Copies of this chain bind each other. A is one copy, B any other.
Amino acid sequence: MKLNKENFPHEIKIVEVGPRDGLQNEKKVLELEDKKEFINLLSKTGLKTIEVTSFVSPKAIPQMADSASLYSSLNINDIDLPCLVPNLRGFENAMSCGVKEIALFSATSDEFTKKNINCTVDESFDRMSEVAKEAKLKNIKMRGYVSTAFGCPYAGLMDKESLLKVVQRFLDLGVYEVSIGDTIGVAAPSQVHEYLEYLSQHIDMSKIAMHFHDTRGLALTNILVSMEFGIKVFDSSVGGLGGCPYAKGASGNVATEDVLYLMDGLGIKTNVDLDKVVAASKYILDKLGKKSPSKFFNAYINSGY
C-alpha cells in the first residue's frame, strides 16, 4: 500500500444518482413536488450531473411512475440531467419529455439480467443497440452502467474478463462513459485493484466511472484504490439513499457526503458544497422518514462539520 499524493487526481466529478438509483430502492413513493424540490436543492450544490429519474414500467418500479411529469416540471438548464431508459419505448417516452442524456444498463451476469430485465446480457445489448441507434440520430448523450461487475447475488463472484467484455460492448455502443457498478457491495480494494489494472491494459480509463455500494462498508476504500487508475468520476447518492435489495436493511449507494468528505480530506477538488449537499439529504430523508446510513451525515447533523 502506497499513497502517492502526486498520483491523485486534482479534481474528481461526482455523478449524483440519489433521485433515481436512491429513490427507486426506497419503499416509500414520494410526491412529485418533493422530488422536484429535492432535485432543485441538488442542482444548487455544484453537482454537474444528476440522474433524475428512469423511464421504466410503473408496474415494475412505482417509485419512478411520475418520470415524465417530473422531468417536464424541472427548470434546470446549467447541468446534465440524465435519465435511465431500459428499452426503445422508455427512450421514446424520455424523448417526448425533452430528455437530453440517457443512461443504459446491463450487467456481467446473465442470471442477474434475467431476473432484473428478463433477458440475457447479449439480449440486453440487442435492445440497447436499437436505443443507441436512435440516440445517435438525435445527438443524445449516452452513459452506460455495468451491474454486478465484481459479484452477482445469484451467480457469485464475477470474473474480470466478463467485465472487460461488457465495458467494451458499451464503448462500442457509443457511450461517453461506462459506470462500473458493485451492485451488491461485495468488492474489496484488492479485487478492485486487480480488475481495474486488467481493464487499464485494454481500454481508455478516462471513459470509466465507478459506482460503489457501501453495503459492507468498503466503498471509500475502493474509491481510494480506483483513483490510482486515473478514474475521476464516481457515482454516489446523497445521504446514502437507497438500500440494498439483496441485503434488506443494509446500505446501498455510497453517500455523496462520504465521498465529498474523503476528497476534502485528500485535498481533491469536487466543486460541490458539502453543507448544501447535507441540507438536500436532510430534506429528502425527512420526507422519507428515514435515517441516513452515512456516518459523516450523522456526525455533521449532531455536531457540525
A224 near B221 (CB under 8 angstroms)? yes
Q: Is A288 among interface residues, defined by CB-CB distance under 8 A?
A: no
Q: How far is the CA of A258 from the CA of B266 in the complex (A)?
A: 22
Nearest B-chain residue to A227, judged by Cβ: B1
B191 near A295 (CB under 8 angstroms)? no
- How far in angstroms is the closest Cβ of chain B from A127? 30
Nearest B-chain residue to A226, judged by Cβ: B1
A3 near B250 (CB under 8 angstroms)? no
A299 near B185 (CB under 8 angstroms)? yes
Given contacts A221-B220, A266-B188, A303-B246, contact A215 B295 (CB under 8 A): yes
B190 near A3 (CB under 8 angstroms)? yes
A191 proximity list for chain B (CB < 8 A): 265
Q: How far is the CA of A191 from the CA of B3 in the complex (A)?
A: 11
| Residue from B185, B224, B247, B303 in contact with A189 in the complex, judged by beta carbons closer than 8 Å | B224
With a 10 A CB-CB cut-off, give which of A190, A216, A217, A296 has the most chain B CB atoms: A217
A261 near B7 (CB under 8 angstroms)? no
Q: Is A236 among interface residues, defined by CB-CB distance under 8 A?
A: no
Q: How far is the CA of A228 from the CA of B224 in the complex (A)?
A: 14
Nearest B-chain residue to A216, judged by Cβ: B296
What count of chain A residues pass the 8 Å CB interface test? 49
Chain A, residues 190-217, CB within 8 Å of chain B (1/0): the string is: 1101000000000000000000001111
A261 near B303 (CB under 8 angstroms)? no
| Residue from B8, B244, B296 in contact with A217 in the complex, judged by beta carbons closer than 8 Å | B296
Q: How far is the CA of A246 from the CA of B299 in the complex (A)?
A: 9
Q: How far is the CA of A181 from the CA of B96 in the complex (A)?
A: 57
Nearest B-chain residue to A264, judged by Cβ: B188
- How far in angstroms is the closest Cβ of chain B from A270? 14
Given contacts A188-B266, A247-B302, 19 further A-B contacts (CB under 8 A): A1-B228, A3-B189, A3-B193, A3-B225, A185-B299, A188-B261, A188-B264, A215-B295, A215-B299, A217-B258, A217-B261, A217-B295, A220-B221, A221-B221, A224-B224, A247-B303, A249-B298, A250-B299, A250-B303
Can you identify 28 A-B contacts, CB atoms within 8 angstroms?
A2-B2, A2-B7, A3-B189, A3-B190, A3-B193, A3-B228, A5-B193, A185-B299, A188-B265, A189-B265, A216-B258, A217-B255, A217-B258, A217-B296, A218-B220, A220-B220, A221-B262, A247-B298, A247-B299, A248-B302, A249-B298, A249-B301, A249-B302, A250-B299, A250-B302, A250-B303, A251-B299, A293-B295
- 9 nearest interchain CB pairs? A188-B265, A247-B303, A217-B295, A250-B299, A1-B228, A249-B302, A2-B2, A216-B296, A247-B299
